[in-house]
Structure 1
Amino acid sequence: MPERITSVQNPRIKAAAKLRQRRAREQQGRTIIDGVREIDRALAKGFPLLELFLCDEMLVGAEADALRNRVDSQRDLNVYEITRDVCEKLSFGERAEGAVAVANYPDTALDASVLSASPLIVVLEGVEKPGNLGAILRTADAVGADCMIAADARTDLFNPNAIRASLGTIFAVPTFEATTAETFAFLRAAGVQMFAARVEGAVSYEQVSFAGPTALILGSEAEGLSGRWLADDVTNIRLPMRGIADSLNVSTTAAVLLYEADRQRQH
């Protein structure tokens, strides 16, 4: 039987709750995962969970049943039964679903072994908002992108809000972190054609071919892309803007480009 925890003052609960703060995540080398679907996807992809906290009375529905079944099949998983009060202490805002997990940060070093013969790579430079990171990961997963690279990121990749916004797809898409210089060198070594999305891009995205090995490079909404991507082997592309706005949200831009790349690759 799992150990039962009934107090929000339990040291294990207090340590887990601190992981809402970036400093604590960096100090502990751990993150916290909210949600039935997200935890189930982490387990399905073999993401090593250190602790799993479950509130039985809150676990309802088909997805909760699927998570229970998966947990029952795991042998070396530290599972704790918690009360509703403890679950609400651990969970993000009012989104308590009865399942919260703690996991070590994975290795996010660049790894060319995940690339296919004709890879599709997403690069986000200077990303600040974990919600955008998560949304882009969902699209990257949907189109079967090989990996996502956060270059000079300003948020931690496995921020619990990014995990939640990705709906757990962060566990399915290889996700790396590197400097912009390291990322540029990695892409060159991989032999991919590089397309940088810029408001002032010389070529419309509709006029280029993403059919071969491709990297789509996007910058932060606040600052766009750095000058490092103004290189001879990088094509600057734009999305036509026919209204009064001069740009789209970065996650929307990523979705347009990724689905266009997917469309071209299916023909």
Structure 2
Amino acid sequence: MITSTQNAQVKQWQKLKRKKERTKTNTFLVEGFHLVEEAITAGWTIEQLILREETELPEWASHLDAETVSEHVFKSITDTETPQGIAAVVQMQDKKLKRHNRILLLDAVQDPGNLGTIIRTADAAGYDAIYVGEGSVDRYNDKVVRATQGSIFHLPVLTADLELLLPELQDNGYTVWAAALEGAVDYRAVTAPEKTALLVGNEGAGIDKRLIAQSDMAVKIPIFGKAESLNVSIATGILLYHTVNK
């Protein structure tokens, strides 16, 4: 059992809280029974399984070798207030796109909770892939991963330069819908084509104007009450379900 936070392995796990180290090692840390099981079930590569002392190895992880650590060490590598006693170092995976008629594009979504919720909602709505643009929070940030509730393991969540990606999608038959206010039509008045790329933007500033100019159509969600705007994850959810046409 590892009992010291000065252990070299423990220090390496702690470093995975930083994006720079995650990028360098192409790995990220997940914690909790549900998320670890989702990663394993979805076929992601588990580089290391970590168990807090007195935590039993679940049946679904019995094929993996686990490193046991003391409670003090486990708390040093996790961020939740009441950790469940299991964590895993998971290898990043850029899934290849197969069937992809519905794609979500995210421009500078910076709040981890929002990004994680959006990924989870896109998964629930049956979207095929998500592209996270520049200026957005890291998709493997621990708060993002927790907020996805495992959906990050279910569909491709990729990074891209959206200015370059939009014309490429349009050349391949996609219609790009931008969620905006100026020059936008009520989303309820239009039907999404079979191949739609939905573009949503930053919590405060919205979508970069250059990206709106590149889009085929701007759509908006009407506000009937006195609220100034909708939370980006809520607005995205409304548009996601409108565009799936199921």
What TM-score, normalized to structure 1?
0.85
Equivalent in 198, 220, 223 of residue 216 of structure 1: 198
Q: Which residue matches 2:126?
A: 144
Give the 3-state SS of the residue equivalent to 1:230 in structure 2.
helix
Percent of pairs with identical residues: 31
Q: Which residue matches 1:62?
A: none
1:94 aligns with 2:76: no
In 2, the alpha carbon distance for the partners of 1:126 and 1:179 equals 11
1:184 aligns with 2:181: no
Equivalent in 34, 55, 58 of residue 68 of structure 1: 58
TM superposition shift of 1:193: 1.6
Where do 1:1-267 residues align within 5 Å?
Answer: 4-55=1-52, 57-58=54-55, 68-72=58-62, 74=63, 77-107=64-94, 111=96, 113-116=97-100, 119-210=101-192, 212-231=194-213, 234-262=216-244, 265-266=245-246
TM superposition shift of 1:132: 1.1
In 2, the alpha carbon distance for the partners of 1:124 and 1:232 equals 14
Q: Which range moves more in the overlay, 153-162 or 168-177?
A: 153-162
8 Å contact 1:149–1:183 — kept in the other structure? no
Q: Which range moves more in the overlay, 176-185 or 227-236?
A: 227-236
Residues 244 and 159 (structure 1 numbering): CA distance in 2 closer, same or farther, change over 3 Å? Answer: same
Runs of 4+ off more than 6 Å: none
In 1, the alpha carbon distance for the partners of 2:13 and 2:193 equals 45
Which residue type is aligned with residue 98 of structure 1?
G
CA deviation digits over 1:117-150, x for unaligned, max 9? xx11111011212211110011011111101111
Residues 48 and 188 (structure 1 numbering): CA distance in 2 closer, same or farther, change over 3 Å? Answer: same
Which residue type is aligned with residue 19 of structure 2?
R
TM superposition shift of 1:23: 2.8
Residues 201 and 255 (structure 1 numbering): CA distance in 2 closer, same or farther, change over 3 Å? Answer: farther
TM superposition shift of 1:211: 5.0
TM superposition shift of 1:164: 0.6
8 Å contact 1:32–1:102 — kept in the other structure? yes
Which residue type is aligned with residue 8 of structure 1?
T
8 Å contact 2:180–2:206 — kept in the other structure? yes
Residues 201 and 134 (structure 1 numbering): CA distance in 2 closer, same or farther, change over 3 Å? Answer: farther
What TM-score, normalized to structure 2?
0.91
Which residue type is aligned with residue 247 of structure 1?
S
Residues 205 and 87 (structure 1 numbering): CA distance in 2 closer, same or farther, change over 3 Å? Answer: same
Give the 3-state SS of the residue equivalent to 2:104 in structure 1.
strand
Residues 190 and 54 (structure 1 numbering): CA distance in 2 closer, same or farther, change over 3 Å? Answer: farther
In 1, the alpha carbon distance for the partners of 2:98 and 2:49 equals 28
**RMSD over aligned Cα, in angstroms?**
2.0
CA deviation digits over 1:76-103, x for unaligned, max 9? x442122222221111141411111112
In 2, the alpha carbon distance for the partners of 1:24 and 1:38 equals 21
In 2, the alpha carbon distance for the partners of 1:53 and 1:37 equals 14
Unpaired runs of 5+ residues, structure 1, are: 60-66
Give the 3-state SS of the residue equivalent to 1:140 in structure 2.
helix
Give the 3-state SS of the residue equivalent to 2:241 in structure 1.
helix
TM superposition shift of 1:233: 5.3
TM superposition shift of 1:241: 0.9
Give the 3-state SS of the residue equivalent to 1:194 in structure 2.
strand
